[in-house]
Each structure stands twice: as structure tokens, then as C-alpha cells.
């Protein structure tokens, strides 16, 4: 036992002192933080350029229908009488580069019957929000004209009053009589992220074991090591040592990511947060109910923020984090032992391909059925693949946010522990033979012989 602990310590200290480990430990949080910060930062950057757009309306129906904005200024130009509109548009297009216009819009007289008839010309690709603004303005004007044809007046008020948003709140009933609110969108997002992180870490750190074994075997360092310890102790030390390295890096990523996101949010987005705080009083509107009591009505943005907070509160993060750590470590130990056996059976990393496929197929299958699991987390497929040890680390993490009975979680954990012990025993039989064999092409028949020794 003392020798195994020594090997664990050696593997751990050697790898955390490695330059690549140190670099990735600090760069990883930067990448993760960028996923949260950069989209908000790009969205907050305003384009200062004001674009002037010319509009040729061949129908004479959309005058001033396209409203001016801070960034887009529209000017309606008339086609001279007696001039062919198509020829005039072609001539204007040829002189567009010498004008102050960014581009021009042509609305043909058949636009009511052909929805894709509007044309936009410019020398540079137009911003998507510009195209959407023009399209929405024309659509609204055409819809208003059609409603007027049916003698419907006060159109804007009617459209605003009939606009309805329906949200279905789902509740889970427990056998004990409790009622718990469920949020499918949040559960889906958390399930996918948890499953993908588990899949990624198992592959990443499992491959580290395999490459480390191949490197030591190629450099003949292992011959010196096995003269002092048993091959099984060496394999266990490497598997557990790399597991601690992965856990250290993962916890470091979480801590550093939070330390980066929080100050960045305060520095770069403080003005945006202040604006939101100033708008909060306006977002709360006191309305009198029929009974005379005060009711608080929130704006749509405030309701969305409150809904997100409610979704976050509905997730049991204690269970989620505990299960994530267990299935990450358990799945890694299971596949890490198999990767160590593969590394001991070959001389180069190129020779691992024939043995990697059977080991990685269960992980690939678990990702493939994850979509089915997200849609129906309590189906028979979801249940069995969350119990089978080779797929449970990914599938169970996809199910956890939706609420899994503790008995099923315990069963899955127990099966994973038993599978890990069995994989360690089988891998050790391959490891102790293959670790000292050089220059021999391995196949499945040879591995079977090693298992029967």
C-alpha cells in the first residue's frame, strides 16, 4: 500500500509541475470565462456608423412606413414620371459608389403578391438588423392594409391587445405528497453541459494515462520501476495519480473562472448593470385589483430575469455537484484502467487505434442516445443506459437535473464501482504482461492469452 501511495504521489507531483499542466490550468478558465464574457461584451459594443439608405417605392404605399433609427436613416426617392423604374434602378445602382448612400431598397408594385420581391443593393454586406428592420416594417404595413380591407380599425391597439404569451408551469408530484416545480429548458441545458463535461474529462485524462504508459515503456523507465513494485501497484498508482491531477485541474478551473468572471463583470459591464438597476423602479408597476388590493406587475424583461432565478433555484446543485464528482471520478477510473491496459499492450500511440475503438464505442453511444434521454429522462432506454457502467457516467449526468430516484442513483454508483474493480482486475492481467514486451504486434488473440495466464 505504501508503494502505491508513493507512485500516486510521484504521478501527481510530476504532472502538476509540468509546463503544459500549468499553462492549461490558467488558460482553461480564460477560455471558459470568454464564453460568458465575450458574447455580452460584443453585444454591448455599439456601431457608431450611421448608414443612409435610399428607398424607391414603386407602389406608393409604404411612404414613411420604415421608421428612422439612430443608426439607419432612410430617404424616399421618387422615380421620375415617364421613366422605366427598372432602368432608373439600374442607373442609380451604377452611381451608388459615388453617392453618400450605403445602399438602396427597391419595393416593386407586385410586393403584395410576391413576398420575396423587395430588393436591397449595397457594396458591403448589410447588417442583419437592418434587413430585419426593413422587412418587419413592410410586413407590418401590408398586414395593416389587409386588415383595413376587412374594415378593422385601430389596428395597432388591437394587435397589441391580442398579443399573448403562454407559459406552462410544470410540477412534479412526489409519493410523499410534495409538489416540486420543474423547468424543462434549464434541466435540459444543465443535463447536456454536465454530460458533455463528463465525457470530455474522461477522454482527456484517460488518454493521458495511455500516453504516459507508452512513454515510460518506450523509454524503458518502467523496467526500473517494476523492479521495486508490482505491475498492479504501478497501474493503480498511475490511474489514481492522474485522477487526482484531473480533479485538481477541474477544481482550479472552477475557482479561477469565477475569479475572472466576477471582476470582469464589475469592470466592463458596471454601467449596464447600473442602467438595469435604474430601470427596476419603472419595471414595477402598481395596479389596483378589483378587490382594492395592490398587485405588482413586472415588465417582460424583469419577468424573464425572475423566471431564470426561479429555474436556478429549482435545481438541487448539492446533488448535481456530488453526482458529477462521483461519476467523473468513477467513469475516469473505469476507462483509465482500460486505457492503461491499451498503453501497456502497444509500443507507439499509432498502434492503439485497433484497441481504442471497442473501449470508446460505449462513450460514443452514450452521447448519441443523450438526445433521447433529454427528451424522455425516465424512459426504459434512459434507465438502463444510466445503470450500465460503461455508459452511466454520461447518461446519468444527463438525467440528474430532471430528478432521478436516489435508489437508481445508488444502484448506478454501485454498478460503476463493481465495474471499476472488475476492469482493474482484467487490465492488471494485461498490464503486468504487456508492460515489459517490446517490438511485438499485439492482437486480440494475444490479449486473450494474457487474460488466461
For the chain, domains (ranges, CATH) are: 2-29+184-259+298-452 (no CATH), 52-160 (3.40.190.10)
Give the per-residue pLDDT at 317. 72
Least confident of 53-62, 155-164, 307-316, 325-334: 307-316
Distance CA 327, CA 249 (A): 16
What's the pLDDT score for residue 416? 92
Q: Quote the DSSP letter at residue 315.
A: S
Summarize the confidence of residues 261-281 as an average pLDDT. 54
pLDDT at 384: 92
Given this model, what pLDDT does residue 8 score?
A: 80
User: Grid coordinates standing for 394?
Assistant: 454520461
Mean pLDDT, range 415-441, rounded to an integer = 79
Q: How far apart are CA 160 and CA 172, in angstroms?
A: 34
Q: What is the mean pLDDT of residues 19-28?
A: 78
pLDDT at 431 over 90: no
The alpha-carbon radius of gyration of the chain (Å, integer) is 32
Q: For position 223, what pLDDT does the model report?
A: 62
Distance CA 123, CA 125 (A): 7
Candidate from 230-239, 251-260, 279-288, 417-426 with smallest mean pLDDT: 279-288
Which tens digits make up the pLDDT trace of 400-417?
Answer: 888 788 899 999 999 999
Lowest mean pLDDT of 148-157, 354-363, 371-380, name the range: 148-157
Separation CA 248–CA 16 (nearest Å): 9
- Of 218, 209, 185, give the one whose Cα is nearest residue 333: 209
Give 106's DSSP letter.
E
Closest CA to 427 of 352, 294, 329, 336: 336
Burial call 361-372: b when 16+ CB within 10 Å, e when fewer: ebbebbeebbee
219 versus 66: which is more confidently predicted? Answer: 66
Q: Is the pLDDT of residue 98 over 80?
A: yes
**CA–CA separation, 343 and 235 (whole Å):** 11
pTM greater than the 0.75 cutoff: no
Question: 378: how many CB neighbours lie within 10 A of its CB?
Answer: 13
Q: Which long-range contacts (CB under 8 A, 24 or more apart) does 391-394 make?
A: 391/362, 391/363, 391/365, 391/366, 392/327, 392/331, 392/416, 393/198, 393/199, 393/202, 393/327, 393/328, 393/330, 393/331, 393/334, 393/366, 394/195, 394/198, 394/199, 394/331, 394/363, 394/366, 394/367, 394/370
What local confidence, expressed as pLDDT, does residue 234 receive? 75
Q: Which pLDDT score, from 0 to 100, does residue 413 have?
A: 93
Contact 431, 231 (CB under 8 A): yes
Amino acid at each position: 500500500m505504501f508503494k502505491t501511495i508513493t507512485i500516486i504521489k510521484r504521478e501527481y507531483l510530476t504532472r502538476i509541475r509540468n509546463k503544459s499542466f500549468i499553462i492549461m490550468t490558467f488558460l482553461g478558465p480564460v477560455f471558459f470565462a470568454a464564453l460568458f464574457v465575450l458574447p455580452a461584451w460584443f453585444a454591448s459594443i455599439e456601431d457608431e456608423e450611421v448608414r443612409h439608405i435610399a428607398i424607391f417605392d414603386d407602389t406608393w404605399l409604404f411612404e414613411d412606413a420604415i421608421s428612422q433609427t439612430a443608426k439607419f436613416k432612410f430617404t424616399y426617392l421618387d422615380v421620375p414620371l415617364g421613366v422605366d423604374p427598372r432602368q432608373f434602378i439600374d442607373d442609380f445602382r451604377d452611381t451608388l459608389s459615388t453617392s453618400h448612400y450605403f445602399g438602396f431598397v427597391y419595393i416593386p408594385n407586385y410586393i403584395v403578391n410576391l413576398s420575396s420581391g423587395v430588393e436591397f443593393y449595397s457594396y458591403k454586406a448589410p447588417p442583419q438588423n437592418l434587413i430585419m428592420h426593413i422587412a418587419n416594417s413592410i410586413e407590418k404595413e401590408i398586414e395593416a392594409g389587409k386588415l383595413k380591407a376587412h374594415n378593422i380599425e385601430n389596428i395597432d391597439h388591437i394587435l397589441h391587445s391580442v398579443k399573448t404569451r403562454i407559459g406552462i408551469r410544470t410540477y412534479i408530484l412526489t409519493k410523499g405528497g410534495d409538489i416540486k416545480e420543474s423547468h424543462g429548458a434549464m434541466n435540459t441545458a444543465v443535463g447536456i453541459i454536465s454530460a458533455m463535461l463528463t465525457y470530455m474529462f474522461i477522454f482527456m485524462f484517460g488518454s493521458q494515462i495511455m500516453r504516459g504508459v507508452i512513454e515510460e515503456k518506450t523509454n524503458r523507465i518502467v523496467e526500473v520501476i517494476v523492479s521495486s513494485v508490482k505491475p498492479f501497484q504501478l497501474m493503480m498508482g498511475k490511474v489514481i495519480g492522474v485522477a487526482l491531477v484531473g480533479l485538481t485541474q477541474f477544481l482550479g478551473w472552477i475557482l479561477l473562472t469565477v475569479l475572472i468572471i466576477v471582476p470582469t463583470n464589475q469592470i466592463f459591464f458596471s454601467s449596464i448593470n447600473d442602467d438595469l438597476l435604474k430601470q427596476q423602479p419603472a419595471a414595477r408597476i402598481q395596479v389596483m385589483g378589483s378587490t382594492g388590493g395592490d398587485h405588482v406587475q413586472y415588465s417582460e424583461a424583469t419577468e424573464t430575469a425572475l423566471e431564470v432565478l426561479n429555474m436556478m433555484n429549482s435545481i438541487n446543485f448539492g446533488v448535481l455537484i456530488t453526482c458529477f464528482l462521483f461519476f467523473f471520478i468513477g467513469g475516469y477510473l473505469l476507462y483509465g484502467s482500460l486505457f492503461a491496459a491499451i498503453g501497456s499492450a502497444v509500443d507507439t500511440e499509432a498502434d492503439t487505434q485497433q484497441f481504442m475503438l471497442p473501449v470508446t464505442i460505449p462513450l460514443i453511444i452514450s452521447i448519441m442516445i443523450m438526445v433521447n434521454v433529454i427528451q424522455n429522462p425516465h424512459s426504459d432506454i434512459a434507465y438502463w443506459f444510466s445503470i450500465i457502467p460503461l455508459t452511466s457516467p454520461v447518461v446519468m449526468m444527463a438525467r440528474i437535473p430532471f430528478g432521478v430516484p436516489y435508489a437508481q442513483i445508488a444502484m448506478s454508483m454501485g454498478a460503476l464501482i463493481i465495474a471499476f474493480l472488475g476492469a482493474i482486475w482484467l487490465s492488471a492481467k494485461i498490464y503486468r504482461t504487456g508492460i515489459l514486451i517490446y517490438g511485438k504486434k499485439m492482437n486480440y488473440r494475444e490479449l486473450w492469452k494474457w487474460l488466461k495466464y
